Amino acid sequence: EILQISVGQCGNQIGKIFWQTVLDEHKIDYTGAFTGDDVRKVEKLDVYMAEVDTSKRKKESNMVMTDVHKSHKEIGNIRYVPRSILLDLEPGVIDSIKASQLGPLFAPDFMIHGVSGAGNNWAKGHYVAGAEIIDEAMDAVRKYVEDCECLQGFQLTQSLGGGTGSGFGTLVLNKLRDLYPDRISCTYSVYPAPKVSDIVVEPYNALLSIQH
Which of these, 110, 113, 187, lies nearest to 153 by C-alpha position?
A: 187
Residues 156 and 169: beta-carbon distance below 8 Å: yes
Distances (CA, A) of 121 to 6, 173, 175, 201, 204: 18, 18, 20, 8, 9
Average of per-residue pLDDT across 139-156: 94
Which of these, 179, 182, 185, 150, lies nearest to 7 by C-alpha position?
A: 185
Query: What are the residues whose beta carbons fall under 8 Å from the beta carbon of 128, sequence distance 6 or more?
Result: none
Q: Which of 5-14, 67-76, 166-175, 199-208 has the lowest mean pLDDT?
A: 67-76
For residue 188, give the H/E element and its range: strand 184-190
Which of these, 86, 94, 82, 50, lies nearest to 172 by C-alpha position?
A: 86
In this prediction, residue 75 carries a pLDDT of 67
Question: What's the CA gap between 102 and 105, in Å, rounded?
Answer: 6
Q: 60-105: per-residue pLDDT in tens?
A: 444 443 444 455 446 667 899 999 999 999 999 999 999 999 999 9
Sign for the CA dihedral angle at 148, 150, 156, 157 comes to negative
Q: Phi and psi dihedrals of 52, rounded to 5?
A: -115, 120
In this prediction, residue 116 carries a pLDDT of 87
In this prediction, residue 198 carries a pLDDT of 80
Sign for the CA dihedral angle at 27, 33, 36, 41 comes to positive
For residue 22, give the H/E element and its range: helix 8-26
Residue 127 has pLDDT above 70, yes or no: yes
Task: With both helix axes pointing from N to C terminus, report the angle between 169-179 and 202-211 in degrees, rounded to the nearest 10.
Answer: 10
Rounded to two decimals, the pTM is: 0.87
Residue 162 has pLDDT above 70, yes or no: yes
Which of these, 56, 201, 61, lies nearest to 118 by C-alpha position?
A: 201
Question: What's the CA gap between 135 and 86, in Å, rounded?
Answer: 14
Start-to-end Cα distance in the chain: 25
Cβ-in-10-Å burial (0-12, 13-18, 19+) of 155 comes to: buried
